[in-house]
Amino acid sequence: MRRMIAIAAALSVACGSPDTPDAAIDTTSSADSLLAAYTSVRLEADLSALTDAERQMIPLLIDAAQAMDEVYWLQMVGPRDSVLAAVSDPKLRQFVDINYGPWDRLNGEAPFIDGTPVLPPGKNFYPHDITKEEFEAAAAAAPDGGESLRSLYTLVQRDSARGLVTVPYHVAYRAQSERAAGKLREAAAIAEDPGLKKYLTLRADALLNDDYPASDIAWLDMKNNGLDVVIGPIETYDDQLFGYKAAHEAFVLIKDREWSARLAKYAAMLPGLQRDLPVEPQFKREKPGTDSDLNAYDVVYYAGQSNSGSKTIAINLPNDEAVQLQKGTRRLQLKNAMRAKFDRILVPIANVLIAEDQRPFVTFDAFFENTMFHEVAHGLGIKNSVKGTGTVREALKERASALEEGKADVLGLYMISRLNAAGELQGDVRDNFVTFIAGIFRSVRFGASSAHGRANVARFNFFSELGAFVRDSASGTYRVDLERMPAATDSLSATIIRFQGNGDYAGVSTWMEKYGVIGPQLQADLDRLGTAGIPVDVVFEQGVGVLGLK
């Protein structure tokens, strides 16, 4: 497979040469400043509840995950070892490693090494010189109507005549796919749970043929496994050209059975929550799958897309709309990662930006619930345009991810309010409201390149316009208007679902141009967080050594 970004050109200034001095940014002080955005967390977990076979499986699953990490480097910039070898300063090299290339994920993917070109919106999924018009013309002329070009699982490349052709992922990344599949099969051979054994076997097959629905369904059917792995090309966040291409990632997970039992009852409430959405009937006519479930896990390994820049703390999968409507989804709350972000980032943010008398409302239980119902909300709303123009993802293209994340955030809070009022969810809803606003400040810092970051900027501005919170200029803190929050939540929920249901690409673009911009006051307040030394996100110490395994 061709190397799609010229590493030497991208990093030549940082590397230096006999007659070219190192770039000014390649210094310890600059690297220290960049690294200060992250705080290190050891991904430890209690393995005592695992069987001997499950303990033996963990290193095999981590090996498979590492193959996905290799693929993700190729999708973003090129071979990891070549990229890192081109950077002379060890601390700057560490920052390149965190970001999977010389572009700052928490700063709009801005290059942080002099001489590095702007990161193409289509990354290495497409030719760097492609235009949207060229792609659409090629898709319209293709015998399959562009299905292969738009596939989640193909690279778009140029042929010898500079036309557009596709290369399936399992061909482009054959070596890594075969290695990962082999490790999954080794793990399946010793798996004791029949559901896990079936899933691992089918997922290994899928990595070698790019046909994922059978393994997605097998993953949804698993109920009793104590160990889990999410692996393969999954999220489309990195494709900011069209939002079509899935990037490779992996999570190795250990189920927290006690916390999972506390969450189980909410899956059965999805159909009723769908019927009660604050929007017109045509936008809630789809019925969410009733086989969805909620579980809590400790993560022991992140790889690929999930490990780049800001780290995922919850998962809602699979993304296949047909599988979602047939079987539902699984929502995985990543408890140890969530706790680390709450303690080290969210609480310090609240102590700077939330009104002093409302800070006691910022609680871990509310943070956990807000995150959990965010994932539940991905399954609600609408997956297919009411105008018959295909899926929401296809209609909204590169706008789809940010809008979907915004929908999940606000619909999650909407559901918490409704369940609390119905007595189905215990606790003080004020905790959820104030923790939610504090969480906006946390997520906005992920930057404009992040779907979650863009979604939070838009929500901040929309809520501000509706008076859901006010800023006290004297103290520089924000106070949540607990009376106006429910109406603001309903209004934003309805706005987003209508955009999705109508497949209104132009409307979403105009809306995001208005609301998805960080204003001067918000930027000044975010800068205060940096001055206070509050990290933006976490970076993991992880692997078999951290877990005490061989």
Concatenating the DSSP letter of every residue in 282-341 gives GGS-S---TT-EEEEEEEEEEEEGGGSSSPP-EEEE---HHHHHHH--EEEEEHHHHHHH
Query: Are both 183 and 85 inside the same structural domain?
Result: no
Mean pLDDT in residue range 364-377:
88
Whether 92 is covered by a domain: the verdict is yes
Task: Return the beta strands (E) in 66-120 as ranges.
Answer: 103-104, 110-111
Does residue 369 carry a pLDDT above 70?
yes
Query: Are both 217 and 345 inside the same structural domain?
Result: yes
Phi and psi angles of residue 227, each rounded to the nearest 5 degrees, phi first: -120, 145
Residues 112/23, Cβ–Cβ less than 8 Å = no
At residue 496, the pLDDT reads 95
Query: Are both 199 and 93 inside the same structural domain?
Result: no
Q: Based on the structure, what is the number of domains in the chain?
A: 2
Query: Are both 379 and 460 inside the same structural domain?
Result: yes
pLDDT-based confidence at residue 267 (cuts at 50, 70, 90): low
Query: Are both 451 and 390 inside the same structural domain?
Result: yes
Give the residue numbers spanning the domain of 457: 174-547
For residue 525, the domain's CATH number is 3.30.540.30
Using DSSP's 3-state secondary structure scheme, residue 484 falls into: coil
Q: Among residues 105, 123, 141, which one ends one of the domains?
A: 123
Query: Are both 226 and 94 inside the same structural domain?
Result: no
Whether 89 is covered by a domain: the verdict is yes
Q: Among residues 91, 123, 155, which one ends one of the domains?
A: 123
Whether 63 is covered by a domain: the verdict is no
Query: Are both 192 and 278 inside the same structural domain?
Result: yes
Query: Are both 347 and 496 inside the same structural domain?
Result: yes
pLDDT-based confidence at residue 258 (cuts at 50, 70, 90): confident
Whether 517 is covered by a domain: the verdict is yes
Give the Cα separation of 53 and 86 in Å (integer).
41
Give the Cα separation of 185 and 215 in Å (integer).
13
pLDDT-based confidence at residue 196 (cuts at 50, 70, 90): very high
Nearest CA to 380 out of 352, 418, 426, 345 is that of 418
Does residue 448 carry a pLDDT above 70?
no
Query: Are both 188 and 114 inside the same structural domain?
Result: no
Q: Return the sign of the alpha-carbon dihedral for residues 498, 501, 507, 513.
A: positive
Does residue 263 carry a pLDDT above 80?
no
Top-confidence residue, 549 or 17:
549
Whether 376 is covered by a domain: the verdict is yes
Whether 12 is covered by a domain: the verdict is yes
Q: Which of 5-9, 84-88, 95-99, 143-147 is predicted least confidently? A: 5-9
Encoding tokens for residue 264? Answer: 């189980």
Give the Cα separation of 169 and 366 in Å (integer).
40
Whether 242 is covered by a domain: the verdict is yes
Q: Among residues 104, 123, 142, which one ends one of the domains?
A: 123
Give the Cα separation of 445 and 463 in Å (integer).
17
Which positions ≥6 away from 175 have C-beta within 8 Å? none
Mean pLDDT in residue range 455-476:
95
